[in-house]
Amino acid sequence: MPACLPATKIQKVRSVRCTLARMETPNDAPSPAGEEAAPPESAAPMEPVEPRSVRLRRHGHRAVLYTWAFAAVGLVIVIVALAVANAHKVKLSWVFGSGHASLVWIVITSVVLGWLLGIVTAIIFRLRTRRRAA
């Protein structure tokens, strides 16, 4: 069993190993270097140390999620401001006839239709330019 030294930045892993080794020592066995016996089984087990790369990846993913959330809130604010600023009715002239509609609904409908047509166009291009099965 390794000698249990106080944990420093360099010796954190050794300290965790020593702590885990002490936890695995049976209660009736003599503890090394005159230390206290291991805690009883009812004590909560120590959680494993999370590697730095996993922690950084998790925090990075959280930052991306917060960025998307702020962007979504900003988009909602812009849409509400657009609706408030363009609530008046305008005349729509079609090829055959005309009609009246609120300007904000015309803009939102145009945006949604453009978005959907963009998705459909991307799907069609992807299907027509994909690699053929050999």
pLDDT in tens, 66-97: 999 999 999 989 888 888 888 889 898 888 89
pLDDT of 130 strictly over 60: yes
Q: Is the pTM of the predicted complex or chain greater than 0.75?
A: no
Q: Which positions ≥6 away from 81 have C-beta within 8 Å?
A: none
Number of domains in the chain: 3
134, 97: one domain: yes
Pairing of strands 98-102, 89-93: antiparallel
- For residue 122, give its domain range: 88-134
Across 20-46, average pLDDT: 57
108, 134: one domain: yes
- Classified as helix, coil or strand, 131 is coil
pLDDT of 112 strictly over 70: yes
93, 131: one domain: yes
